[in-house]
Amino acid sequence: MRLSSIAAGLTLLFVAATALDKPLDIEIQHSVECTRKTKKGDKVEMHYRGTLASDGSQFDASYDRGQPLSFHLGKGQVIRGWDEGLLDMCVGEKRKLTIQPEWAYGSRAMGPIPAESTLVFETELVGIGGVKRDEL
């Protein structure tokens, strides 16, 4: 009986630790209903604001430039946290992505982003190439 209790406790600790160490956390900040969501291969236009989780300092923002970033989703043109975290979005939806280093830049420093940084992105899907926004 004691061994099973210890095993159950260890399993709970492992599950809790794994949940904390997941490489990507997605928080939907503004939900939108649509018939066509983003999928791999789509050319998307995203507005975003990127900050460091460690101190909240902003390192980049498309909003400051007044122009969304355009790229093909799921093709490795952006960090893995974006390729995975921006799937199944509707135009107009806003998400906050918290991305651990292994799905961001890992052990490489990138401009103002130190190596091994957890990144936070506030994102907004502006458009999907060739897809009209649903009228609700």
Is 136 part of any domain?
Answer: no
Average pLDDT over residues 25-41: 96
C-beta separation of 59 from 6 below 8 A: no
Domain range spanning residue 31?
23-128
Is 122 part of any domain?
Answer: yes
> Is residue 7's pLDDT more than 50?
no
Average pLDDT over residues 25-34: 96
Angle of CA points 69, 43, 36, to nearest 5°: 115
* Phi (first) and psi of residue 121, to 5 degrees: -120, 130
The dihedral built from the CA positions of residue 122, 73, 38 and 42, taken in this order, carries a sign that is positive
Is 12 part of any domain?
Answer: no
Helix (H, G, I), strand (E, B) or coil at 18: helix
pLDDT at 77: 98
Is 16 part of any domain?
Answer: no
Structural domain count of the chain: 1
Residue with tokens 């939900």: 31
| Band of pLDDT at residue 90, cut at 50, 70 and 90 | very high
Residue with tokens 């007044």: 66
| Band of pLDDT at residue 132, cut at 50, 70 and 90 | confident
Share of the chain above pLDDT 70, in %: 82
Is 9 part of any domain?
Answer: no
What are the residue numbers of the active site?
A: 48, 59-60, 79, 105, 121
CATH code of 29's domain: 3.10.50.40
* Phi (first) and psi of residue 15, to 5 degrees: -60, -45
Burial of 102 (0-12, 13-18, 19+ CB in 10 A): middle
